[in-house]
A and B are shown apart, each in its own frame.
Chain A
Amino acid sequence: MGDITDGRFGRFGGQYIPESLVGACQEVEREFRAAWADEAFRARLDGLLRDYAGRPSPLTVCDRLSDELGLRLLLKREDLNHTGSHKINNVLGQALLAQRMGKTRLVAETGAGQHGVATATAAALLGLDCVVYMGAVDMERQKLNVFRMRLLGAEVRSAETGSRTLKDAVNEAMRDWVATVESSHYLLGSAMGPHPYPWMVRELHRVIGDEAREQCRALDGRDPDVVTACVGGGSNAIGVFSGFVDTAADLVGVEPAGGAAIGHGVPGIVHGALSFLLQDDHGQVQEAESISAGLDYPGVGAEHAHLADLGRARYERVTDAEVLDAFQLLSRTEGIIPALEPAHALAWVSRARAELAGKTVLLNLSGRGDKDVAQVAELLGHDVS
């Protein structure tokens, strides 16, 4: 997982973008490359990650749940970051980059709202304008995050076309960027989209994997047997995988059954990249559907498609019902209410407990569950209104 120069991960990736965005993507690549090699930039980012976002995030050994499952479960606690998820790592890096490029406005898409909240937060911190596109359906599902973004000074615009979820928010963000490319930076929230985003976003999240690897070695003197994370676009997974791709650890990404781009295994081109893509026989992109707005994306980051191709990582699918069980299981046994997204990874661990017996499993707990509590209450038949 080193540098990439041609914008490809094996046969995936690329820059399937209109001519008007080619120059902007080239500028982002050039500037990020320079910034990433610039000690002053790195020091500024590291300082913000430490003093503002609260890094390093802890590694928690789950004693009670480990006993219950018959394995040893370690959680990388990205849920404890400022704004409640791993998203802040990427956002602070890209917001600093935008400032370095002289851009005054951030454009972002959001699904569950975590990336939108993180982007609005960074914009407030650095004094940048911020517009977040969110599918109309997701705005309804995640009203509190909409309010949070507005509280932080961002403008939230509803994506009213197509399935009115994350993929449509990406379309609207790209349309905005096409028109405002001279003053705006598109702060893409996952390790997807055209080059250089999949590479840049992975680099900004590799802090998760680098920290976890050190923490695991300090704890156990060895690497975990299995590293697992949920995969929608795949940013938290690629971040934690990047710390372990050169170890013997098994890498397991977990997709929602209703949005399993890799699971279905059909390549396609959307949002600037060639990757696996949920689509019909004619090439029309299909809507992903799962309990978790943050994973409702029909595509997946190109590097995950490549890791699946290589067989270096494997990708499993879990159902909404399994996710709900896992959500409650972690809450009850460890006192940690997870976001529905990482509950997918836990759902797989729980199902695969026989295969995993006695092994050490590192799970990237990418976000906390506060945003999901009302939805889960409703799904479980509790009236909390």
Chain B
Amino acid sequence: MGTLEKHLRARRDSGRKLLMPYVSGGITDDWLDVIRAYDDAGADAVEVGIPFSDPVMDGPTIQAANDQALRRGATPISILSELQGLDVSIPLIAMTYANIPYRMGYRRFVEELGRAGVHGAIIPDIPLEELDPWEEAVGDADVDTVMLASPISSDERLRRLTARSRGFVYGVNVLGVTGERADVGAWTADLAGRLKQVTDLPVVMGFGISSPETAAAAAAPSDGVIVASAIMRLLLDGGSALDAGAFVARLRDAIDTAL
């Protein structure tokens, strides 16, 4: 079992709900401080976005965060290099689109993740149908490939994709792209429940979670939540790493209090 999965399972099994905030790599000068602030605020893992020019699963806020990072000159290698030796206590997960690892070469990309101390990868446009070459490149490297599940995935597909997911399974709350929503919608409990029936991997829900209330609501039927757009908007609006950390601390309180 990989480092990421071991860590998340241990925390989940101790009765804790998992909280995984996101940051677009290179979005600000002090983006590494954002990760440190997440760690201090009680995050269980951090999703680090490696920007791609054409992110079809992302709404306007993550697009803007990625554009800002690209304008500042961020590249896949610059982001991963900056992560090397980062002094945090929680695992890092890379989130990107297929062409970024494809251009570098899947195998080299996996090596670079290893060098950067990244223990997971989320690549939404590599579904089961295209997974073989990627899995082969990962081999026995300590990088967990996290698969995404959609509200309209059949139970049969949920079985197949959780069988190949490592670290956790990413339940997508909504039909749609990333972005803040007023409530988490009708799909969350159904999808989390269906995932729970086919896997004992941690089930972590994301998309549309933008407040302490929505975080607590989505964490209730699942093992935890991923929060991205709400924090990126805060950073895009000029918020500091400490502001981002404070927001994550509020999310932490909300999901812990709801327990």
Q: Do A and B bind each other?
A: yes
Please give the residue numbers on chain A whose beta carbons come within 8 Å of chain B beta carbons, in ascending order.
Answer: 7, 14-20, 22-23, 161-162, 167-168, 171, 174-175, 178-182, 267-272, 274, 277, 279, 281-285
Hey, which chain B residues are within 8 Å of A269, CB to CB?
Answer: 97-99, 102, 125
Q: Are A282 and B75 in contact (CB under 8 A)?
A: yes
For window 63-108 of B, CB contacts with A under 8 Å fall at 63, 67, 70, 75-77, 97-100, 102-104
Interface assignment of B116: CB less than 8 Å from any CB of chain A: no
Give A167 to B99 CA distance when docked, in angstroms.
Answer: 15
Question: Considering residues A17, A179, A180, A267, which has the most beta carbons from chain B within 10 angstroms of its beta carbon?
Answer: A17
Hey, which chain B residues are within 8 Å of A174, CB to CB?
Answer: 56
Q: Are A270 and B57 in contact (CB under 8 A)?
A: no
Q: Are A162 and B53 in contact (CB under 8 A)?
A: yes
Would you give 17 A-B contacts (Cβ < 8 Å), ordered by A? A14-B130, A22-B153, A23-B157, A161-B60, A167-B54, A171-B56, A175-B56, A178-B177, A179-B176, A182-B175, A271-B56, A272-B125, A274-B102, A277-B99, A283-B102, A284-B53, A285-B53
Instruction: Please name the residue on chain A nearest to B150 by beta carbon.
Output: A20
A19's partner among B59, B60, B103, B150 (CB-CB below 8 A) is B150
Hey, which chain A residues are within 8 Å of B70, CB to CB?
Answer: 284
Interface assignment of B127: CB less than 8 Å from any CB of chain A: yes
Q: Are B148 and A19 in contact (CB under 8 A)?
A: yes
Give A100 to B63 CA distance when docked, in angstroms.
Answer: 35
Q: Are B130 and A282 in contact (CB under 8 A)?
A: no
Instruction: Please name the residue on chain B nearest to A23 by beta carbon.
Output: B152
Instruction: Please name the residue on chain B nearest to A282 by beta carbon.
Output: B75
B172's partner among A19, A175, A267 (CB-CB below 8 A) is A19
Instruction: Please name the residue on chain A nearest to B129 by beta carbon.
Output: A15
Please give the residue numbers on chain B whose beta carbons come within 8 Å of chain A beta carbons, in ascending order.
Answer: 52-57, 59-60, 63, 67, 70, 75-77, 97-100, 102-104, 124-130, 147-154, 157, 161, 172, 174-177
Instruction: Please name the residue on chain A nearest to B152 by beta carbon.
Output: A23
Q: Are B56 and A19 in contact (CB under 8 A)?
A: no
Q: Are B127 and A171 in contact (CB under 8 A)?
A: no
Chain A contact residues, majority secondary structure: mixed
Instruction: Please name the residue on chain A nearest to B149 by beta carbon.
Output: A19
Hey, which chain A residues are within 8 Å of B103, CB to CB?
Answer: 268, 279, 281-283
Instruction: Please name the residue on chain B nearest to A6 by beta carbon.
Output: B129
Give A269 to B151 CA distance when docked, in angstroms.
Answer: 25
Question: Considering residues B60, B70, B99, B150, which has the most beta carbons from chain A within 10 angstroms of its beta carbon?
Answer: B99
Give A162 to B66 CA distance when docked, in angstroms.
Answer: 11
A103 → chain B closest CB, angstroms: 14
Q: Are A285 and B54 in contact (CB under 8 A)?
A: yes
Give A318 to B127 CA distance when docked, in angstroms.
Answer: 37
B52's partner among A14, A17, A271, A284 (CB-CB below 8 A) is A284
Q: Are A17 and B127 in contact (CB under 8 A)?
A: yes
Q: Are A270 and B130 in contact (CB under 8 A)?
A: no
Hey, which chain A residues are within 8 Å of B76, CB to CB?
Answer: 282-283
Give A147 to B129 CA distance when docked, in angstroms.
Answer: 40
A-B CB proximity, top 8 nearest: A283-B103, A179-B176, A20-B150, A284-B53, A269-B99, A269-B98, A19-B150, A174-B56
B175's partner among A20, A161, A284 (CB-CB below 8 A) is A20
Give A303 to B148 CA distance when docked, in angstroms.
Answer: 29
B254 → chain A closest CB, angstroms: 27
Q: Are B63 and A16 in contact (CB under 8 A)?
A: no
Hey, which chain A residues are within 8 Å of B147, CB to CB?
Answer: 19
Hey, which chain B residues are within 8 Å of A20, CB to CB?
Answer: 150-153, 172, 175
Hey, which chain A residues are within 8 Å of B172, CB to CB?
Answer: 19-20
Give A179 to B174 CA distance when docked, in angstroms.
Answer: 8
Give A65 to B125 CA distance when docked, in angstroms.
Answer: 48
Hey, which chain B residues are within 8 Å of A23, CB to CB?
Answer: 150, 152-154, 157
Q: Are B150 and A18 in contact (CB under 8 A)?
A: yes
Instruction: Please name the residue on chain B nearest to A286 by beta carbon.
Output: B53
Hey, which chain A residues are within 8 Å of B176, CB to CB?
Answer: 175, 178-179
Give A18 to B67 CA distance when docked, in angstroms.
Answer: 21
Give A290 to B124 CA distance when docked, in angstroms.
Answer: 31
Hey, which chain B residues are within 8 Å of A161, CB to CB?
Answer: 60, 63, 67
Report if A15-B99 is in contact (Cβ < 8 Å); known contacts: A171-B54, A178-B175.
no
Question: Considering residues B53, B67, B127, B176, which has the most beta carbons from chain A within 10 angstroms of its beta carbon?
Answer: B53
Hey, which chain A residues are within 8 Å of B157, CB to CB?
Answer: 19, 22-23
Question: Considering residues A14, A15, A269, which has the most beta carbons from chain B within 10 angstroms of its beta carbon?
Answer: A269
Hey, which chain A residues are within 8 Å of B177, CB to CB?
Answer: 175, 178-179
Instruction: Please name the residue on chain A nearest to B154 by beta carbon.
Output: A23
Give A279 to B76 CA distance when docked, in angstroms.
Answer: 14
Q: Are B54 and A270 in contact (CB under 8 A)?
A: yes
Give A271 to B177 CA distance when docked, in angstroms.
Answer: 15
B98's partner among A16, A22, A179 (CB-CB below 8 A) is A16
Q: Name 9 extra pairs, CB < 8 A, besides A18-B125, A282-B77.
A: A16-B126, A18-B127, A19-B148, A19-B161, A167-B54, A171-B54, A271-B54, A282-B103, A285-B99
Hey, which chain B residues are within 8 Å of A272, CB to CB?
Answer: 125
Hey, which chain B residues are within 8 Å of A282, CB to CB?
Answer: 75-77, 100, 103-104
Q: Are A19 and B153 in contact (CB under 8 A)?
A: yes
Hey, which chain A residues are within 8 Å of B126, CB to CB?
Answer: 16
B172 → chain A closest CB, angstroms: 7
B26 → chain A closest CB, angstroms: 12
Q: Are A178 and B152 in contact (CB under 8 A)?
A: no
Instruction: Please name the residue on chain A nearest to B151 by beta carbon.
Output: A20
Question: Considering residues A16, A268, A271, A272, which has the most beta carbons from chain B within 10 angstroms of its beta carbon?
Answer: A16
Instruction: Please name the residue on chain B nearest to A175 by beta carbon.
Output: B177
Give A179 to B151 CA distance when docked, in angstroms.
Answer: 11
Hey, which chain B residues are within 8 Å of A270, CB to CB?
Answer: 54, 99
Give A14 to B125 CA distance when docked, in angstroms.
Answer: 11
Q: Are A14 and B152 in contact (CB under 8 A)?
A: no
A283's partner among B60, B99, B151, B161 (CB-CB below 8 A) is B99
Q: Are A18 and B124 in contact (CB under 8 A)?
A: yes
Q: Are B175 and A279 in contact (CB under 8 A)?
A: no
A300 → chain B closest CB, angstroms: 15
